[in-house]
């Protein structure tokens, strides 16, 4: 089993109601990789500029992340994003975006990545995501992420790609937008008609839903009192989920439920620190402990007929 992720690598400046951080390591591929690396090795595809310091490369490698696919553009600058969260941390505004080397990123997969069995296409232009998908040999279990921008500007490309892959992850607002529905359950069902086996809808503090051929499965988030910075929570969720799937080497619904639970737990740690610090500061035993608490929280005991 092996896992490839393609996505952004960035420097973020983030302001939340509890503090701020400047020029910190970020990007969808970074959050995803750090999260999935708790479960096993991951191969990263991305692009940075010459300003991306060696110690950041080293940090990724030290975590078991292969950076052979991380292209460095001579004379270029790394993608930079800055944003500010409002009081409830459910919403944010983007203060600035400098795409830099990410603007014309045309990912080329190293030969050694192409036989991977699991592929995550992080949020990006659907044609770029499709080009990565087309470079793979075999039929990896492929999960796609997206955002409102691509639903608005590249719907046809996105729908074509979604029809070829195994799963789509997106948040609740994006699901309503993509499906033109007002009810989230109807939205997920309609998106599944595009072709993927699973649609996974992220609802932030309200948990996640899996749409599958047997119906819908809803799982709550972990109640978090110490929310510090939600940046990267969605990619950490996807990373924990994919990492768990790869480790279990299964993609059936029961395995995906457990994987979504691991994604939920991984994302909860991400939210407890600024930038990637929440992921860097947690160890495997703390993750396992929180997973066990989560499972216990949802355990309704032995089956009994009450009525």
Q: By the criterion CB under 8 A, which residues form the site for a copy of itself? A: 17, 38-39, 87-89, 182-186, 189, 203, 205-207, 209, 215-225, 227, 244, 247-248, 254, 257-258, 261-262, 284-285, 287-288, 291-292, 294-295, 297-301, 303, 305-307
Nearer to a copy of itself, 109 or 191 (CB): 191
CB 139, min distance to a copy of itself, A: 25
Nearer to a copy of itself, 54 or 254 (CB): 254
Nearer to a copy of itself, 55 or 182 (CB): 182
SS3 assignment, position 292? helix
Angstrom distance (rounded) from CA 182 to CA 175: 9
CB 69, min distance to a copy of itself, A: 25
Angstrom distance (rounded) from CA 66 to CA 61: 6
CB 213, min distance to a copy of itself, A: 14
Nearer to a copy of itself, 54 or 88 (CB): 88
Whose CA is closest to 67, among 22, 6, 118? 6
Q: Enter the DSSP assignment of 275.
A: T
Q: Enter the DSSP assignment of 221.
A: P
> Please, are residues 243 and 205 in contact by the beta-carbon 8 Å criterion?
no
Residue 183 backbone class (left: φ over 0; alpha: ψ -120 to 50; beta: rest):
beta
Count CB-CB contacts under 10 A for residue 117.
17
CB 10, min distance to a copy of itself, A: 27
CB 35, min distance to a copy of itself, A: 12
Nearer to a copy of itself, 72 or 258 (CB): 258
Angstrom distance (rounded) from CA 4 to CA 304: 44
CB 276, min distance to a copy of itself, A: 19
Nearer to a copy of itself, 156 or 307 (CB): 307
Residues 6+ apart with CB under 8 A from 60: 30, 33, 34, 44, 67, 70
Q: In this structure, what token pair is assigned to residue 140?
A: 């990896």
């Amino acid at each position: 089993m092996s896992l490839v992720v393609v996505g952004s690598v960035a420097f973020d400046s983030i302001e939340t109601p509890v503090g701020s951080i400047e020029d910190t390591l970020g990007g969808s591929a970074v959050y995803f990789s750090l999260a999935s690396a708790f479960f096993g090795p991951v191969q990263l595809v991305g692009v940075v500029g010459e300003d991306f310091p060696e110690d950041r490369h080293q940090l990724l490698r030290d975590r078991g992340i292969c950076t052979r696919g991380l292209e460095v553009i001579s004379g270029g600058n790394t993608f930079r994003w800055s944003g500010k969260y409002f009081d409830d941390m459910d919403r944010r505004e983007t203060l600035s975006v400098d795409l830099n080397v990410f603007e014309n990123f045309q990912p080329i997969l190293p030969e050694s990545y192409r036989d991977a069995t699991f592929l995550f296409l992080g949020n990006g232009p659907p044609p770029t995501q499709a080009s990565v998908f087309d470079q793979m040999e075999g039929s990896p279990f492929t999960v796609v992420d997206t955002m409102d921008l691509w639903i608005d500007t590249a719907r046809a490309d996105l729908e074509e790609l979604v029809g070829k892959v195994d799963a789509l992850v997106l948040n609740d607002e994006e699901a309503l937008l993509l499906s033109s529905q007002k009810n989230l359950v109807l939205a997920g069902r309609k998106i599944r008609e595009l072709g993927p086996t699973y649609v996974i809808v992220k609802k932030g503090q309200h948990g996640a839903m899996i749409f599958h051929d047997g119906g819908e499965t809803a799982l709550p988030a972990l109640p978090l009192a110490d929310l510090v910075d939600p940046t990267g929570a969605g990619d950490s969720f996807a990373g924990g989920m994919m990492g768990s799937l790869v480790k279990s080497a299964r993609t059936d619904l029961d395995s995906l439920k457990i994987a979504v639970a691991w994604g939920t737990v991984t994302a909860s740690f991400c939210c407890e620190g600024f930038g990637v610090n929440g992921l860097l500061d947690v160890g495997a035993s703390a993750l396992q402990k929180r997973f066990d608490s989560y499972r216990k929280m949802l355990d309704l005991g032995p089956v009994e007929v009450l009525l």
